[in-house]
Structure 1
Amino acid sequence: MPEHKIFAMPFAKVYPMYVQKAERKNRTKDEVDEVICWLTGYDAAGLQQQIEQQNDFKTFFAQAPALHPNSALIKGVVCGVRVEEVEDPLMQKIRYLDKLVDELAKGKAIEKILRT
């Protein structure tokens, strides 16, 4: 089965959409960065480097320092699909990220988004 198109899409192409979605709901770019860094283990410089290098999602997650151990606590529906039931590990990580940005845009407290 061929890989999904999003795996080869540059993360830098989707990142501004995450920020726009959050900003439309009065959240900030810094908050978007915080949830991305929480999930992936990147620091701010590492995240910026991934954006500048135009790495695709596959590379972005492959080079991520460490997926947060509490990422398994991310539950819910994104695009009609339950994130906890996604079988492909890379697609699940992408859906986790989508879910975190959705929660941010919906006004959820950052402490709850980060599962603390």
Structure 2
Amino acid sequence: MFITSGKTKRADHLVMMYIVNDMRPLSTVSRLCQSPDMQIMCRKTLQIQINTYYDEIVSALSLKLKSMDYLCLTADCWSSHARAFPWSNMSLDKSGLFQRIKSASLYKI
């Protein structure tokens, strides 16, 4: 019994998401299915699909960010050996004006 085309696409997508979400090596696809009646994509096809998926996500995120009026970004920097924990916060509006707040929190560990 061979898998139909629609089921194959769904299976390939699930395999891709499994590998991407678990950060597994691309060679995982060659070990996933040893059954002769099931066909899943090869490593090269997986690589192409991951690149396409990445481009789609970046494109969707870019469209979403372009439609926003304001954007607030936060960055933290922590260290287990130093006592200073610097952080930066930046707010940006559509006109390009931004406010940047920088600080170092001095806490005893």
TM-score range, shorter chain: under 0.3
Structure with a larger share of its residues in helix: 1
Greater relative contact order (Cα 8 A, min sep 6): structure 1 or 2? 1
**Greater Rg by CA:** 2
